[in-house]
Structure 1
Amino acid sequence: MSKSASPKYTVPGLSTHEGGVIIDLLRMRLHALNDLSLTLKHVHWNVVGPHFIAVHEMLDPQVDRVREMADATAERISALGGVPEGTPGVLVTERTWDDYGVGRADAIAHLGALDLVYTGIIEGHRAAMTEIGKSDAVTEDLIIEQLRSLEQFQWFVRAHLESSGGTLATARTHTERQAAKAGKKAAKPTSTR
């Protein structure tokens, strides 16, 4: 186990080693969810432009649901005999990703960047689900439930970035700034003259 000490106990049916591995996986999911809820609020406060109100109002329910996910994850860590750490210092020290890099910006630019954020969160959850599923169906179910919401939220974001032909504006981007730029560029009307 990388960051936490081996638990002295865990749930019946799992060894303390298995519990410890799951705790470490959940620890990073907790960091990702806490970071996501803060990022979504950052976007909520800094979004501007013609799509302001739609995006502003779309994000608060996502924030609420992501906070519920973080709480459920932290409680599962505790049930497994671990110690959930949700302080900003621990999150920043242990995370493996950079801070969200878009400030005050057009709604479509933020949605482009959020598409990449959601991709990272979903990929991390799916990787954790695969590992956790080897030993603990209960925790795997928790992650699957969270993925349902996270994938739906990404769909809401992507609906603003997709063309009628099915092309996703952020498809070939690798950074939040590139995705923000691609989203904004795709939203510009083209001249028909």
Structure 2
Amino acid sequence: MTVVRSTLPDEARQVTGDALQETLVDLLGLSLTGKQAHWNIVGPRFRSIHLQLDEVVSAARGFADTVAERAAALGTPPDGRPETVAARFSLPAPKDGWLRDDEVVQLMVEALDAAIGRLRSRIEATEKPDPVTQDLLISITAELEKQRWMFEAENAPRD
């Protein structure tokens, strides 16, 4: 049953819908990764990294909503169910238990790096089928790159 018809041709809708669904899973998983690290971080940089994790979680959750609504507007029902996210999430995730502050920083750099790489592929894939979605993915990538930079700067070597 089709409830919302797409303004895109079927092939373009499929490519765009897949890109949006994969991005939704990455963003929901990234927000859970950020929260898990937020709750379990320990170490001398606890407070600053704890607060920075909230920024990532907030951005990921906000973007997830925007991505899901874009998919719905194009006639592709978004799937953010826990079982879908659990089955499809493939970004680096935290280990169980307490996490040292330097481990959290490394985890977030790696998770954001992977998410950014996947987004860049989707940016390329959506260029012709749907430039509007491509623009959305570019905006998300820019913010995640900023967050990655902030985490990476946390572990910069001291001279």
The alignment's TM-score, normalised by the length of structure 2, stands at 0.92
Q: Is the 8 A contact 1:102 1:113 kept in 2?
A: no
Q: Does 1:9 align with 2:5?
A: yes
Q: Unaligned regions of 5+ residues in structure 2, if any? A: none
Alpha-carbon distance between aligned partners in 2 of 1:124 and 1:117, rounded to the nearest angstrom: 11
Which of 1 and 2 has greater Rg?
Answer: 1
Match of 2:89 in 1: 95
User: Are the structure 2 counterparts of residues 96 and 47 from structure 1 closer, same or farther at C-alpha, using a change threshold of 3 Å?
Assistant: closer
> What is the CA deviation profile of residues 26-56 of structure 1, one whole-angstrom value per residue up to 9, with x for unaligned ones?
1011000000001001111000010001111
> What is the CA deviation profile of residues 37-77 of structure 1, one whole-angstrom value per residue up to 9, with x for unaligned ones?
01001111000010001111111122111101000000011
Q: Is the 8 A contact 2:91 2:114 kept in 1?
A: no
How far apart are 1:97 and its partner, in Å?
A: 4.7
Q: Is the 8 A contact 1:7 1:16 kept in 2?
A: no
How far apart are 1:9 and its partner, in Å?
A: 2.8
Q: 2:21 aligns with which of 24, 27, 31?
A: 27
Superposed structure 1 runs of 4+ greater than 6 Å apart: 5-8
Q: 2:126 aligns with which of 125, 132, 138?
A: 132
Root mean square deviation of aligned Cα? 2.0
Match of 1:142 in 2: 136
Alpha-carbon distance between aligned partners in 2 of 1:15 and 1:128, rounded to the nearest angstrom: 18
Q: What amino acid maps onto 1:28 in structure 2? A: E
More contact order relative to length (CA 8 Å, sep ≥ 6)? 2
Q: Does 1:80 align with 2:80?
A: no
User: Are the structure 2 counterparts of residues 6 and 120 from structure 1 closer, same or farther at C-alpha, using a change threshold of 3 Å?
Assistant: farther
The structure in which a higher percent of residues are helix is: 2
Alpha-carbon distance between aligned partners in 2 of 1:88 and 1:128, rounded to the nearest angstrom: 23
Q: Is the 8 A contact 2:5 2:75 kept in 1?
A: yes
Alpha-carbon distance between aligned partners in 1 of 2:124 and 2:142, rounded to the nearest angstrom: 15
Alpha-carbon distance between aligned partners in 2 of 1:33 and 1:162, rounded to the nearest angstrom: 26
Q: Unaligned regions of 5+ residues in structure 1, if any? A: 166-193
Identical pairs, percent? 30
The alignment covers a number of residue pairs equal to 159
Match of 2:148 in 1: 154
Q: What amino acid maps onto 2:128 in structure 1? A: K
User: Are the structure 2 counterparts of residues 76 and 119 from structure 1 closer, same or farther at C-alpha, using a change threshold of 3 Å?
Assistant: same
